Amino acid sequence: MPGQTSRIDWITPSQGPIAGGTTVAIRGVASLCDPWLSELERVPRKQRTPLVLTRAEVARLLGAMTGTPHLVARLLYGTGMRLLECLRVRVKDLDFETGEVVIRSGKGNKDRTTMLPKVLSVALRHHLEGVRSLHDRDVAAGFGRVWMPDALEEKYRNAAGTWGWQWVFPATQRSIDPRSGIERRHHLSEQVIQRAVHEAVRKTGVAKPATPHTLRHSFATHLLASGHDIRTVQELLGHTDVKTTMIYTHVLGLGASGVRSPLDALEGEPTPGED
C-alpha cells in the first residue's frame, strides 16, 4: 500500500562493494514502476563477530609455519594488515629506521601507516637480500620491471625497474600480465599464504577455522586487551568508522567503551586473549 515501507532482501545483494549502488539502482527502477516502491529499504547486513585467536594459539600457529609464509603471517599479526595489503607492499614502503610500513591504496583506496615490528627487522632484511638477488637476475635476463598504477607509470617511466618499487614478496615465477601481455614478476599469490595457514591450523590442532584474516582480527583484539586506545587501533586498521573497530570490544567483553574495569585488574581477572 502507498506510504508503507517494505524490505527487499529478496532482490538486493547482502554483501559486496556494489551492494549499496545496486540498492540505489533498484530503487530508481522501482520508482518508475510504482512511486511507493521507491521507499523500499534493504535489510541491514548482519554484523558477525570476528574469529580471534588467543595469544597462545597465535604462537602455536606461527610456530608451525616456515619460510616466506611464516614471515608473511608474522607480519599480518604484527601489523594488522589485510593479506592482499601485505603482499602488495613494495621495498620503499618499509622504513626500518622509524619502524613503520606504509600501506598503499588499502581498502577504500586510502594510504595509511602502521607499525613495523622490531623483532622482524633481521628476518625482513635477510629476506630482502634474497629478493634483491632475484631482482638482479631478472634484470640480467631482460626483465625486472614490476606492475605500477597507470598514472604513476606514465609519470615515472623508469621507476618500474628500480629496486624501491619491487614487491617485498615476489612470486617465485614470472608470468604474463593479462592486462598488458608483458612478462613480469607479480607479487606472491594469496593462495600460497592461505594454504600455509590452513595447513598450520591442521598441524597444531587449533579448533578454530583460522585464516590469514584471523591474524588481523587477533592483532586488533590483543591491542585493545593491552589497553591501547580504540581510536589508535582504528587508525592502524584503516577503518573509516570507529563503529567498525568497536566490534572487537564485544569480542573482549569490554562493553561499548572498550575499557576494562580497574577492579578486574586489581582483583586478578585475567586480560582477555591471554589464555
Look at residue 9 and tell me whether its pLDDT is greater than 50.
Answer: no
Measuring CA to CA, how many Å separate 176 from each of 77, 167, 169, 187, 204? 32, 16, 18, 13, 37
Catalytic hit among 112, 216, 222, 260: 216
Residue 89 CA to residue 120 CA, distance in Å, equals 15
Q: For residue 153, what pLDDT is reported?
A: 76
Going by their DSSP bridges, the two strands 94-95 and 175-176 should be labelled as unpaired
Confidence of residue 209 (pLDDT cuts 50, 70, 90): very high
pLDDT band at 131 (very low <50, low <70, confident <90, very high): very high
pLDDT mean across residues, the chain: 83
pLDDT for 10 equals 38
Residue 251 has pLDDT above 90, yes or no: no
The candidate with the shortest Cα–Cα distance to 43, out of 21, 1, 5, 14, is 14
DSSP-based helix, strand, coil % in the chain, nearest 5: 50, 5, 45
Catalytic residue among 42, 70, 74, 82: 82
Q: Would the pLDDT of 22 be above 60?
A: no
Q: Is-catalytic flag, 216?
A: yes
pLDDT at 148 over 60: yes
Of the pLDDT bands very low, low, confident and very high (cuts 50, 70, 90), residue 25 is low
Q: Look at residue 1 in the predicted model and tell me its pLDDT.
A: 45
Cα–Cα distance for residue pair 186/189, rounded to 1 Å: 8
Mean pLDDT of 12-16: 43
User: Among this protein's residues, is 222 annotated catalytic?
Assistant: no
Predicted confidence (pLDDT) at residue 66 exceeds the cutoff of 60: yes
Strand ranges inside the chain, DSSP E? 94-95, 100-103, 112-115, 175-176, 183-184
**Which segment of 17-31, 42-56, 240-254 scores lowest on mean pLDDT?**
17-31
208 is catalytic: no
Q: Stretch 34-43: mean pLDDT, rounded?
A: 58
Catalytic residue among 107, 174, 228, 250: 107
Q: 98 pLDDT band (50/70/90 cuts)? A: very high
Task: Decide if 248 is catalytic.
Answer: yes
Q: 55, 186, 213, 250: which one is catalytic?
A: 213
Q: What is the pLDDT at residue 264? A: 63
Active-site residue, selected from the candidate residues 77, 217, 248, 260: 248
- Reply yes or no on whether 107 is catalytic: yes
pLDDT tens digit sequence for 225-248: 888 889 999 999 999 888 888 888
Q: Name the grid cell of 259.
A: 575499557
* pLDDT number for residue 125: 97
Active-site annotation holder among 74, 88, 185, 239: 239
